[in-house]
Amino acid sequence: MRLLFLCQNHCARIEHTLAQIDAIGWSVSCVSCLEHVETHIKMSPVDAFLIDFPSICGDSVAGVRVTQSGVPILYLVDESEESAFHQDGVSKHQPYILYSQVAQRLKPSVVEVVGQRQATSEEFSSMPMARENRFEFDLDNDKSRVTPTVEMLLDSCESFGLCSTADRFRLSIALEEAIVNAIVHGNLEVSSELRELGDDSYEQAIAERQQNPQYARRRVKLSCQISEQEGMFLIRDQGPGFDVSRIPDPTDDDYLDRPCGRGLMLMRSFMDEVRFNDKGNEVTLIKRNAPVGVGSDPCFSIPNMD
């Protein structure tokens, strides 16, 4: 998750918030020069704005430009300024949390406003809870970014009651396996057979490919839709693909001690549905909460990312 924090001074409450964001594993940039907001988001797009109230408020240049950018907003308000926030003409209709609530509410609140950003009608966007959350990510080949991304998606799943604590653990394994596979085996084209050598050949090959422009420029597209009924997670890499039918069964006696196929087995074990495209460079994982009954809304579909 990439955040832009609009604040005009780095007081204790700002530093505490930055520490909380760092602990979550999200990236954040701070902007105090309001005129540079548009330039910043054009050069480095962000998923949400955090705005310090009252240092940024009212009809300020930032308030107007942030509203017009289409990027979701979450205000951070000092308790002593909460009354003034509700009286402010521009900010009073925006979602907010108090600085005293940052440790508990920052992460779920950001997840919620980001999930609602694609709502198009005023009626839908004013609802206290979105009917579904949609996320799209364009990931590089840094494996360290996978876990924070997955954790954000799991927070959304929990907010819809789609997963229990045990389900969260299983979903985490399945999603991380799928994304890491897309990075390592898809984009970087590093074979899992290198793991069998018993040395650092596997990690060394990954590091070398990450520095090779031929592989490093490839991206992983992650598109997700999460509702009370189900979560759909589409992961596509820019590698050559593979033949799924040729992946060995890790429970076969000949492969019990080899890593090949274990990730796919875990995905199929922990998800209700796993399907690949013909090329083998795209996988869709589906987690269902319960069977869709007669008369209920049809399952949504993830838009084509071509």
Q: What is the pLDDT of residues 241-299, one digit of tens each?
A: 988 877 756 555 555 455 555 678 888 889 999 999 999 999 999 999 854 443 334 34
| pLDDT score of 23 | 87
Superfamily assignment of 2-125 in CATH?
Response regulator (3.40.50.2300)
Every domain of the chain and the residues it spans: 2-125, 132-288
| pLDDT score of 235 | 96
| pLDDT score of 158 | 84
Topology of domain 132-288 in CATH is Heat Shock Protein 90 (3.30.565)
To which residue do tokens 């796993």 refer? 274
Helix (H) / strand (E) element for 131: namely: none
Q: Which residues contact 83 (CB under 8 A, 6 or more apart)?
A: none
To which residue do tokens 């070398």 refer? 208
| pLDDT score of 151 | 84
| pLDDT score of 129 | 46
The yes-or-no answer to whether 2-125 and 132-288 have a common fold is: no
| pLDDT score of 281 | 94
Low-confidence ranges of the chain (pLDDT < 50): 59-68, 118-129, 256, 291-306
| pLDDT score of 188 | 96
| pLDDT score of 98 | 92
| pLDDT score of 203 | 92
Yes or no: say if 230 and 144 are a contact pair by the CB < 8 Å rule: no
| pLDDT score of 231 | 94
Q: Encode pLDDT of 197-211 as tens digits.
A: 778 888 999 999 999
Torsion of CA 184, 188, 194, 195, to 10 degrees: -20
Neighbouring C-beta atoms of residue 42, cutoff 10 Å:
9
